[in-house]
Each structure stands twice: as C-alpha cells, then as structure tokens.
Chains A and B, each alone.
Chain A
Amino acid sequence: KNEVEQSPQNLTAQEGEFITINCSYSVGISALHWLQQHPGGGIVSLFMLSSGKKKHGRLIATINIQEKHSSLHITASHPRDSAVYICAVKGQGAQKLVFGQGTRLTINP
C-alpha cells in the first residue's frame, strides 16, 4: 500500500462543476502539499497545509489530521483547470516529500 493514496485517478467534468480530489496518507506528517502539473511538465505549488483549511481564489484545501485525509476542491471549474493534481506529504522529522500518484482532471467546455 502506498503511503499516499489519491482518488480518483482520473476525473472528467463539465465546466462549472464543483470538483473534489481526495488524498489519504498513512504516516504522521508535518505538512501536506497540493501541487498542480500542466501538460508541459512544470509544477506549481497550490497549498501547503498542516491543519485546517486554506482558500485561494476558486481553490479550497482542507486537512483532517486525525483522519489522515485531505481534500482539494475547485469551485466553478474551468477548462484551464485541466491538469494533474498531486498530493505530497512530509513525514514528521523527514526531509523529503512522498508523492501520491496524481489525479488527472479534465474539464470540458
């Protein structure tokens, strides 16, 4: 079993729909990151969470430390949101990130 599991692996939705991507992890963590990777390969850091909830524009990220679970939500989705979304965690006392397999999101106009 991977330390970081994401679901779904692939998600296709219509423009305007509310999107939820889930991330579960099995170890105690000091931080959880949500990353966005566009087809060209470059990665953008969306959020770093250690507790609670963060919001940036149409993106919302939540984390439940007790349940070892995080969600990334996109409101009013748009075709430009189409990308791979990656969850990554840093274990307590660790230097490196452990990555989920990613969720490929496609928003159709």
Chain B
Amino acid sequence: SAVISQKPSRDICQRGTSLTIQCQVDSQVTMMFWYRQQPGQSLTLIATANQGSEATYESGFVIDKFPISRPNLTFSTLTVSNLSPEDSSIYLCSVESGGVETQYFGPGTRLLVL
C-alpha cells in the first residue's frame, strides 16, 4: 500500500499569485499523477510526473501554468501559477503501487481563488 500526504490541505489565494502543493508518499513510486477536480465535476488529469524526466501534460494543461517538480521517488510538487478564480478546485496527487495497479490518492488540496 501507499500512504500519501499533501500540503497544504486548503488555501485561499489572491488572483495573480501562485500556490505550490506538495505531495509526499511513504514508499518509492515510479509514476505520480496530478489531478484537478473542479466544483461538481469529476477528476481531470493534469500531468504525469516521472522521476528524472519532464512531466507529461494532458491536453489543455501547460507547463507555464502548472509547473511540476519530481526530485525523487517519494515527492512531487505542483505549482498553480498566475491564479484566477477559475483555478478554484481540489487538486489531488495519486500514485500506482503494487503489482496489481492499485491506485492511491492523496487527501487533496482545496484551493479557493478570490
């Protein structure tokens, strides 16, 4: 199994600022996923982060807006830059662990942009 923690759990930010979200896993994992969940919506994949390589972004998401770091096999950060109210969402970190492809999710970071 994998236990994931995220910081911060929630934040209120002003328009035009940035927020960096940290994701820590209690075991080494190859792939980490960052998701966004807008109010009332399901999860949308932002990017996949592999250690030692550039993150792979999904259509509609760009590195300038959502820079990602993956310095080692247990940690990643997602920055949401130049915040606007449309960025108000829950941001979730997720990993696959174990030979049966079980998916684990962090507790999420709830962001409100004013």
Contact = CB atoms under 8 A, between A and B. Distances in A.
Contacts of A40: 107-108
Interface residues of A, number: 21
Given A41-B90, A41-B108, A102 B103 contact: no
A97 B105 contact: no
B43 A99 contact: yes
B53 interface: no
Interface stretch (A11-19, A43-51, A56-64, A75-83): A43-51
A100 B42 contact: yes
A69 interface: no
Given A41-B110, A42-B108, A86-B42, A95 B103 contact: no
Contact of A33 (B42, B48, B103, B106): B103
A42 B6 CA distance: 10
B41 to A, nearest CB: 8
Contact of A43 (B41, B44, B108): B108
Contacts of B42: 86, 99-102
A95 B101 contact: no
Contacts of B41: 101
Contacts of A44: 105
B43 A45 contact: no
A97 B110 contact: no
B63 interface: no
Given A86-B43, A96-B48, A100-B42, A48 B101 contact: yes
Contacts of A48: 100-103
B29 interface: no
Interface of A: 30-31, 33, 35, 40-45, 48, 86, 88, 90, 95-97, 99-102
Given A31-B101, A48-B103, A88-B103, 5 more contacts: A41-B92, A42-B107, A90-B101, A95-B31, A102-B42
6 contacts: A33-B103, A42-B106, A42-B108, A86-B42, A96-B33, A99-B42
